[in-house]
A and B are shown apart, each in its own frame.
Chain A
Amino acid sequence: METVHTATPLLALLASLIGAFLIIFTGGKRPNLREFWTILAAVTQFALICSMLPHVLQGKIVEYTFIEIYKGITLQLRVDTFGMIFALLASCLWIVVSVYSIGYMRTLKEHSQTRYFFCFALALFGATGVALAGNLLTLYMFYEILTIATFPLVAHQETPEAIKAGRKYLVYLLTGATFILFAMGLTYYLTGTLDFAPGGFIAGHGSKELLSLLFVAFIIGFGSKAAIMPLHEWLPSAMIAPAPVSALLHAVAVVKAGVFCCLRVILYIFGPEVLSDLGLWITLAYFVSFTVIVANIIALTQDNLKRRLAFSTINNLSIIILGAALLSSQGIKGAMLHIPFHGFMKITLFMCAGAIYVKTRLENISEMEGIGRQMPITMAAFTIGAAGLTGIPPVCGFISKWYLCLGTLEAQEILFLMVLLASALLDGAYFFPVIYGAFFKKSKGIKSTFDEAPVLVVAPIVITAIGSLLFGLFPDAFIHFFQLAALSAKNILGG
């Protein structure tokens, strides 16, 4: 595979890092300048990542080696097709969420906004770094930065519950990181390298038992961030954070980084051959299927809108891992597509929840009856997102779910097809009461005249909703998610 050596990946990362420090040095006295830095950093980062897209689409790899740490270990950024998907998603949605954050935070007159935007930029630095990391050590580094940068965001409200949620978040994720550290050490000891390779590099190193142990340690480690049950507890608690943070957590940075890392482990460290030899894929598939179904059932019982969305996220993350665990080409393609597509749809839903909160201070679904009359744009976007997550065409969720279903058929595992279909049904079951209530029920104390949230809040919602629709109609539009996913699947299974 051809390699292009340039510093562009580093510059893309530096955009958010420098942005973060510009934000903190500007401080709260000049909020407009501070927010300008956020937007500038986000746009710069997106542009730099897009500039690498043509190389990656031609099958080349963009590489930048920072420094060699030890024999066979470098700090290295290496952009491949799969990393590109996540990097594009993170940097693209960062622009949208930044605009939304400004609207949200200013309308609510939130405290500590400088810290908020600083940590936000730092979290994006971490997430993009995870996407662009060329080996496990670099990935771990950015993974940790992401974890720690998100802690102040989760605890942002500084109420006792928020602080408790923040602690819970740290306990789960740092414990996970310990498992990763152990697994990483063992991997290096066994293979002498940590560089990702499509199709895995661990084959032939170590006994069956040792490799199984290693895989379990990796999945526990990254699974804590991907909220695989029973490691999911922190995610619903973290819903105490402001809505843009939840949007970031769910759609872009944190949990997606967890899933991204799980896929890296499954497809780029172990690889389909080793996993089918060990028989571990089926264990993992059962495990995440359990999460898919149980999370959906719990979601049905939640009245708090954000908590319901949180369980929906847990379900969708596990669907992505399920698709990859099937080790079939269509399944991998579907899983990789579901990462950005779910990101677009889920961010829409969370931003809608935030818009409703900004306007009405309502958080519970039972109190939102009739809100569709007051906030029709928001609720229309919500409907698009919800329909997509249920898998209704032409929203993009349909495309990814279609490939996931094809993947189960290709792997000849009808049971997992059932799981996917059941989860789609349950998705519908907990989303449609919200939509029905909003548009068709009589309102209790909610205005029935048009009164939307501020433009800065609504515009991003409209953009991501339209994005979800567009990607459903043209999955390869603009930033070529479809082509990237197809190329990755080909590399992994063919290479």
Chain B
Amino acid sequence: MIVEQFPVLIVVAPLILAFIVNVVGLWNRRLCFYIVFIALSACLVFSLGILNTVLTQGEPIHYRLGNWQPPWGIEYVIDHLNALILVSVAIISLLVAVYAKRSLEQEIHESKLPQFYTLFLLQVTGLLGITATGDMFNLYVLLEIASFSAYAIIAMGERGADFAAFRYVLFGTIGACAYLLGTGYLYILTGSLNMVDVAHLLPQAFYSKALLVGLAFFVVGVGIKMGMFPLHIWLPDAYTLAPSAVSALLAPLFTKVGAYVIIRIMFTVFDPSFSLALYPVADILGWIAAIGILFACIMALAQSDLKRMLCYVIVAEMGYILIGIASANRLGLTGAILHIVNDMFMMACLFTVAGAIFYQTGTRNINQFRYLHRTMPITLAVFVVGALSVVGVPPLCGFFSKWYLILGAIQAQKWVLLAVLLISSLIYAILFFRVIECAYLEPREAHNHAYDGGHPTPTLDRVPISMLAPMVLIAAGIILLGIFSGKIIVHIIEFAIPATL
């Protein structure tokens, strides 16, 4: 049955097509997009098939590459947790790919399009692979595929992007080294690289200091890749200066997949009783998250560039996920996993909007958004949905993950984290209402009622439909994810959390 091959196809298909895109691009550039579209649609089908299989059989899929028996061969293990993330990554990357087609026109020279689409597909390959794999070293390889394509694709951006990308290379390489060292430590202790196998063997080594060092390397390594405070320094520059479509792909997905890896390592590879109970890992992560959220929120307040502001919001959002992990209980982890999915949609929504505004007006400066509601009503409506969701207004999805994070913090009696969650939503409100105010309200004289002259006449957005449609779909996704968050939790996330917690 082909369905059984889905776990590997979801990685291999975009990988192979990425090279085909490159070759076809030499002959006909216009075909590139359609190949990418087909590849990502196929990925979406595969991911839905995988999710369906996991839900019906109720236990993880174990797929052995080349039928090599684990722990020697590479094994892809897909349970409820990564099935959910795979579907989200596939949906967002497909929508962003459609969005990218026209948004690239102004930002990338036509001759570079084949390279762009190759890197785009490689990027998605890496992200899907990181999520699907059950092998620690294979994860490293895929992490590097994703990272290297990210370095290159970011460097395609505007002036200064090459330097930002170079800085990202330096940081990212350190992160990769740290991750590899962590894997090495575990290999020394257990002689295995298969996650399930390592998890099985590890309890014998729980009191070894080397293990703790290994865990620290993991957290630092993945922390750099996911933009965890204070290792986020590369992030704002890289994601701001990258082309709009690239930031709309990387900002929501790469950081969240990193958060997934942290959860996978802390709760699957390491037993929660070790990673959270034996050492104060949860406390340390909690403090990092708390300081990081406040720092990032304040930095975001200081920005006038919409995209750069959103970059800091991402750093804060990563803190939210860490708070859920640091709460170390079912409610908190429910919030963290739900927030990974929700935040993919919210960030994709906001970054695509930033790109659309840049497409039509050529600016990202918030102070120049005046009168925008006259010329971009749909884009701004999408922005309002995304912004209110980040602020945490029910029934949008951002509220519900925040709700579980709050419950988790209360249950863990971590009042500082609770306070940070609440205060940061207030700062978010200021942050986003500043933009909404600039875009929607016009400066007027007192009692000058019908004053209407000299401003752009109201029109619909002049953004192509292939950019608008993905944005509207993502916004609809935000609303639906919010309303049906209960279903996601009951049917998927409940099973994704280790039973020992």
Contacts and interface: CB of A to CB of B under 8 A. Distances in A.
Interface in A312-341: none
Nearest to A71: B490
Interface in B272-305: none
B393 A145 contact: yes
A220 to B, nearest CB: 12
B444 A159 contact: yes
A67 interface: yes
Contacts of A110: 449-450
Contacts, number: 88
B486 A70 contact: yes
Interface residues of B, number: 42
Contacts of B406: 181-182, 185
A354 B199 CA distance: 72
Interface string A151-193: 1100101111101001100110011001001100110110000
B485 interface: yes
Contact of B403 (A152, A155, A167, A185): A185
A185 B415 CA distance: 12
Interface string B456-469: 00100000000000
A159 B407 contact: no
A140 interface: yes
A163 B437 contact: yes
B32 to A, nearest CB: 38
Contact of B426 (A75, A159, A178): A178
A111 B451 contact: yes
Interface in A89-123: 108-111
B385 to A, nearest CB: 12
A277 interface: no
Contact of A141 (B394, B410, B433, B489): B394
A285 interface: no
A170 B429 contact: yes
A152 B445 contact: no
A325 B400 CA distance: 32
A137 interface: yes
Interface residues of A, number: 40
A69 interface: yes
Nearest to A27: B458
B395 A141 contact: yes
A175 to B, nearest CB: 6
Q: Give the secondary structure class of B's interface.
A: helix
Nearest 8 Cβ contacts at the A-B interface: A141-B394, A69-B486, A109-B450, A158-B444, A185-B406, A189-B410, A178-B422, A144-B393
A148 interface: yes
Interface in B377-434: 388, 392-395, 399-400, 403-404, 406-407, 410-411, 418, 422-423, 425-426, 429-430, 433
A68 interface: yes
Given A68-B486, A170-B429, A170-B433, A188 B407 contact: yes
A69 B444 contact: no
Interface of A: 28, 67-70, 73, 75, 108-111, 137, 140-141, 144-145, 148, 151-152, 155, 157-161, 163, 166-167, 170-171, 174-175, 178, 181-182, 185-186, 188-189, 361
Contacts of A178: 422-423, 425-426
A185 B410 contact: yes
A109 B452 CA distance: 11
Given A182-B406, A182-B422, A148 B485 contact: no
A28 B457 CA distance: 12
B187 interface: no
Given A67-B487, A171-B430, A174-B426, 16 more contacts: A67-B483, A70-B489, A109-B450, A144-B393, A144-B394, A148-B393, A155-B437, A158-B443, A158-B444, A174-B429, A178-B423, A181-B392, A181-B422, A182-B406, A188-B407, A189-B411
Nearest to B450: A109
B34 interface: no
24 contacts: A69-B485, A70-B404, A70-B486, A70-B489, A73-B486, A75-B483, A109-B449, A111-B449, A140-B394, A145-B393, A148-B388, A151-B433, A158-B443, A166-B437, A171-B430, A174-B426, A178-B422, A181-B422, A182-B418, A185-B403, A185-B406, A185-B407, A186-B410, A189-B410
Contacts of B395: 75, 141
B213 interface: no
Contacts of B449: 108-111
Contacts of A69: 400, 485-486
Nearest to B442: A158
Contacts of A157: 444, 446-447
A178 B442 CA distance: 29
Nearest to B487: A67
Nearest to A188: B407
Contacts of B388: 148
B441 interface: yes
A103 to B, nearest CB: 15
B170 to A, nearest CB: 39
B443 A160 contact: yes
B440 interface: yes
Contacts of B447: 157, 361
A448 to B, nearest CB: 26
Contacts of A151: 433
Contacts of B446: 157, 159, 161
Given A110-B449, A158-B441, A137 B394 contact: yes
Contacts of A171: 430
A14 B369 CA distance: 33
Contacts of B392: 181
B391 to A, nearest CB: 8
A137 B392 CA distance: 13
Contacts of B450: 109-111
B441 A67 contact: no
Contacts of B483: 67, 75
B460 to A, nearest CB: 11
B68 interface: no
A160 B441 CA distance: 10
Contacts of B444: 111, 157-159
A9 to B, nearest CB: 16
Given A70-B489, A144-B393, A159-B446, A189 B418 contact: no
A189 B440 contact: no
Contacts of B484: 67
A155 to B, nearest CB: 6
Contacts of B411: 189
Contacts of A163: 437, 441
Contacts of B443: 158, 160
Contacts of A67: 483-484, 486-487
A109 B451 CA distance: 9
B393 A189 contact: no
Contacts of B441: 152, 155, 158, 163, 166
**Most interface-central of B394, B449, B485 (chain A CB within 10 A):** B394
Contacts of B403: 181, 185
Contacts of B433: 151, 167, 170
Interface string B479-501: 00001111101100000000000
A159 B445 contact: yes
A102 to B, nearest CB: 15
Contacts of A189: 407, 410-411
A157 B406 CA distance: 38
**Most interface-central of B392, B443, B444, B489 (chain A CB within 10 A):** B444
Nearest to B437: A163
A141 B392 CA distance: 10
**Most interface-central of B393, B411, B483 (chain A CB within 10 A):** B393
A170 to B, nearest CB: 6
A274 to B, nearest CB: 20
Nearest to B446: A159
Nearest to A29: B458
B367 to A, nearest CB: 14
A20 to B, nearest CB: 13
